[in-house]
Amino acid sequence: MKFVTSISTLTAVLIASVANADSHCADGKTLNDGKLTIATGNPAYYPWVMDDSPESGQGFEAAVAYAVANAMGFENDDVVWVRSSFDEAIQPGPKNFDMNMQQYSITAERDEVVDFSDPYYTAPMAVLVSPGATDTNPTMESLKGLKWGAVGSTTAVAKLQNVIKPEQELLLYGDNADVNAAMSANQIDAALFDLPTALFLSAVMIEGSKVIGQFAADESDNPDNFGMLMEDGNPLKPCVDEALAELKGNGALAAIEATWLQDTTGVPLIK
Amino acid sequence: MAKSRRSEYDAAQKRRSIAIASASTIFVVLALIILVPMTPGWEKVQKSFFNTAVLYKSFPKLMEAFKVNVMIFAWSAPAIAVLGLLVALARSVHSPALFPLKVFSAIFTDVFRGVPVILTVYLIGFGIPGLGLPRPWNSPYIWGSVALVLTYSAYVAEIFRSGIESVHKSQRAAALSLGLTEQQAMRDVVLPQAVRNVMPSQMNMLIALQKDVSLLSFIGPVEIFRQAGVFKSLLANFTPYVGAALIFLAITVPATRYADYLMARQNRERQ
Amino acid sequence: MMYKLQLNNVVKTFGENIICDRINISARSGELVCLIGASGAGKSTLLRCINLLETIDDGEIILDGQDIAEPGLDPQPIRAKVGIVFQSFNLFPHMDAISNVMLAPRRVHKKTRAQLLEEITGLFERFGLKDQMYKYPDQLSGGQQQRVAIVRALAMKPEVMLLDEITSALDPQLVGEVLEVLFTLKDEGMTILMATHEMNFAKKAADKICFLKNGQVLEEGTPDWIFGPDAKQETKSFLSSF
């Protein structure tokens, strides 16, 4: 942990020193002058945020948030965290955050109602199976025969319905916790999550479960690109995009990814 | 002479009240139609909640999903009626030998009316299958329905019980004094009157049940509420929920009117 | 000679209160016995005890030689033999008159509607209720309802009829039609025990009158005796208010 902490701190300091030099694109465009208000989920899950405390800067999204904030000229103390649900993000009307980071996939329909930053991560989808199905082959054929569950509000649903097309009816749930419960109760064999979440769930939440395969990130109709969600027409967007471009250009973003999402290699591709 | 003076006065009064009612209704409706779209956020709200394009897109699948609701309702409602009646009868026994039955019934109604339905749905829907039942016996359809039936039976039982108690005890006395047994007195004399007395309240319960079927969406089944949620996430739009509401109303309103009609007809036949 | 109905030292208490205090009453077959007394004197309670709607605390109730108040007996078959009519009619409002009457014979005597129809129609006719057979209780006058209640009790062919102030809730002009029925019953040989305030009727129709006060039979005798000059002072002062 200490090693990891120092890496992200180092990264943040690197960026801050670069950013502080120029004028601040974000001036006057945030909810509260001089402060950047970022929303995350309630609770915020590992490995995106550690211990449900984004203020620590620990976790992939927390780290990226601070990196982008610094790149836009905000000190760490200027970052204010709030919690929100998915619904609050897409309801019409003013938001109580400048940006919302909780593994939102960028889709065309959503883009009509809100604005997304450029992607900060491309998430492969991975298959998590229950202890009873761990010897399933990572092939499309085998996947069709499993009983599938998914979180209803995610792009996993579209992938299941359009790509995998399982033989048995889907069961859909409100959040990850309920999918876990269903898997533990042996009501479903398999569920689809983004790879880091799948690995976390397998390691910690459901004993005996296994991530048997992942889909290549650019496969099928909609690769899952995570973007920061903002109010429609938010003038902050170009500043955020500029900051992200900077982080991508100097390798900081990749470094953060390597730090927090390093376990994502070694999972076979679904054939 | 007096008759026509009175009827003239009554007619004038009636005309006046109709005029006032119509005028005020028109005024309120006009106010809504004119003033609401003038609010600054109306366009966004309309796009988000009353979007006809989204409604068309989501409607077919919502209707599909509604079949699940109808199905669950169709097998739960009779079970609730039967179990509710049994529990109410258990609570109403007079014989001292059957006292434990009375106590059990009281505990049953206390517990299942006291615990929030959603909690019961979770506990039974995930908990009992989690004990290790094989498929298909661990299906969320079965155990979710069990949770609904247990909960609603408790309410229905209490309504039946109050109905039974509302029948004057002289009815039971008269029945017994003719030589009927306790069971015959209950079945032929008390219960018919009790049920008739509480029919309106039970109709209310039936309508509440139609909506609470949606609680099963939390444990997997893709009924209309869950399907609307999937659309909401996919399209970042709340109109699917409005669509679901319309479908509900299309069923519950005629159902209520039909129930009212049956009751009125029953009362009329008795004259 | 055996009495049809005999009450020996019947005691009934409710908590601290003694409602029936060692009551002794007897009725021969075919006799009409009137119970008179102020409200609260224990008349209603006594009748409900005979019908086993209440259990007595002490004493015997002997019907046709059998002590029906013996603890542990199943009251149901006994109640089928003892008819009772209440002050407030207690007809079943969700059934028409004929169904009210047929219910108990169908359930207890296991007869079908078809089997009962002729007999029950005859009963209705005999008591002037032919046109009321298919009406509901709330469509009938008080007098009609009470007569239907009497028919309902009679349909079970009871050994004895208990009548608990059956005219007290009726409008004065309807009392007559109900009392007429009682004359018919008496003529047919029914043993009747009735609590009543109708003194003229008691004087005319009763074979025996029992005056109850504070749960005890203060005096009993023929109508001539009870209404005559030799009755007890308390009896006379009670009757003087009528």
CB distance A184–B130 less than 8 Å?
Answer: yes
Q: Is B236 on the interface with A (CB under 8 A)?
A: yes
Per-residue pLDDT 10s for chain B (271 aa) are 567 899 999 999 999 999 999 999 999 999 998 998 888 888 888 888 899 999 999 999 999 999 999 999 999 999 999 999 999 999 988 888 899 999 999 999 999 999 999 999 999 999 999 888 888 888 999 999 999 999 999 999 999 999 999 999 999 999 999 999 999 999 999 999 999 889 888 988 998 999 899 999 999 999 999 999 999 888 888 999 999 999 989 988 988 888 788 778 767 765 5
Structure tokens, C235: 């009896």
> Which of B171, B177, B184 is facing C107, going by the closest CB pair?
B184
User: Cβ B177–C84 below 8 Å, yes or no?
Assistant: yes
User: Is the confidence at residue C90, as pLDDT, over 80?
Assistant: yes
Residue carrying structure tokens 């390691």: A203
Q: Tell me the nearest-neighbour CA distance from B135 into chain A, angstroms.
A: 7
Amino acid at A101: M
The rounded distance, in Å, linking the Cα atoms of C91 and B170 is 10
Range of the domain at C69: 5-240
Question: Looking at CA atoms only, how far is residue A2 from chain B in angstroms?
Answer: 38
Q: Which pair of tokens denotes residue C56? A: 């007595």
pLDDT attached to residue B186: 95
The Cα angle at residue C40 between residues C37 and C45, in degrees rounded to 5? 95
At residue A21, the pLDDT reads 46
CATH code for the domain in which residue C198 is found: 3.40.50.300
Question: What's the CA gap between B205 and B117, in Å, rounded?
Answer: 14
DSSP state of A243: H
**Percent helix / strand / coil, chain C, rounded to 5:** 40, 25, 35
Q: What is the CATH number of domain B65-269?
A: 1.10.3720.10
The answer to whether B111 and B120 have CB atoms below 8 angstroms apart is: no
Whether A108 contacts chain B with CB within 8 A: no
Check if A188 contacts B (Cβ < 8 Å): yes
Question: Would the pLDDT of C81 be above 80?
Answer: yes
SS3 A104: coil
- Give pLDDT, residue A265: 64
How many Cβ atoms sit within 10 Å of the Cβ of residue A5? 13
Instruction: Kindly identify which residue of chain C lies nearest to residue B266, measuring between CA atoms.
Output: C94
Q: What residues of B are in contact with residue C138 (Cβ under 8 Å)?
A: 270
User: Sign of dihedral through CA atoms B119, B121, B122, B127?
Assistant: positive
> Which of helix, strand or coil describes residue B167?
coil
Amino acid at A140: M
C touches A, CB cut-off 8 Å, minimum 3 pairs: no
Q: Give the domain ranges of chain A.
A: 2-120+227-264, 123-214
pLDDT at B271: 54
Structure-token pair, residue A151: 């979180």
Q: Quick one: C98 exposed, middle or buried, by C-beta within 10 A (0-12, 13-18, 19+)?
A: buried
pTM of the model: 0.81
Closest alpha carbon within chain A to B138: A187
CB-CB neighbors (< 8 A) of B170 in chain C:
86, 88, 90
Q: Is the bond leading into A43 cis (omega within 30 degrees of zero)?
A: yes
Min Cα separation C36/chain B (Å): 23
Got the DSSP string for C176-218?
HHHHHHHHHHHHTT-EEEEE---HHHHHHH-SEEEEEETTEEE
pLDDT averaged per 10 residues, chain A (length 271): 61 56 72 90 87 92 94 92 81 83 87 90 90 88 93 88 91 91 92 88 86 75 82 90 93 90 74 77
Contact B220 A182 (CB under 8 A): yes
Q: What pLDDT is recorded for position C209?
A: 95
Interface of B with C in 184-213 (CB under 8 A): 184, 188-189, 192-193, 196
ipTM associated with this complex = 0.93
Query: What strands lie across the sheet with A125-129, from one edge to the other?
Result: A171-173, A148-151, A190-194, A125-129, A210-214
CATH level 2 (architecture), domain A123-214:
3-Layer(aba) Sandwich (3.40)
Question: Nearest by CB to A171, which of B122, B127, B220?
Answer: B220
Spatial separation of the C-alpha atoms in residues A116 and A230, rounded to whole Å: 6
Tell me the C-alpha distance between A98 and B206, whole Å. Answer: 45
Interface membership of B196 toward A (CB under 8 Å): no
Residue-averaged pLDDT of chain C: 93
C104 → closest Cβ in B173, B180, B270: B180
Q: Which pLDDT score is estimated for A154?
A: 86
Tens of pLDDT, residue by residue over C14-26, are 989 999 999 999 9
pLDDT for residue C198 is more than 60: yes
Quote the number of domains for chain C: 1
Q: Does B146 touch chain A (CB under 8 A)?
A: no
Rounded Cα distance, A39 and A90, in Å: 13
Q: Flag if A178 and B237 touch (Cβ within 8 Å).
A: no
| C155 band by pLDDT with thresholds 50, 70 and 90 | very high
Q: Does C113 touch chain B (CB under 8 A)?
A: no
What's the CATH fold of domain A2-120+227-264?
D-Maltodextrin-Binding Protein; domain 2 (3.40.190)
State the Cα–Cα distance between residues C161 and C182, nearest whole angstrom: 10
Residues of A in contact with B47 (CB under 8 A): 92, 113
d(CA A215, CA C32): 99
Answer whether A187 touches B (CB < 8 Å): yes
What span, in angstroms and rounded, lies between the C-alpha atoms of C226 and C219? 8
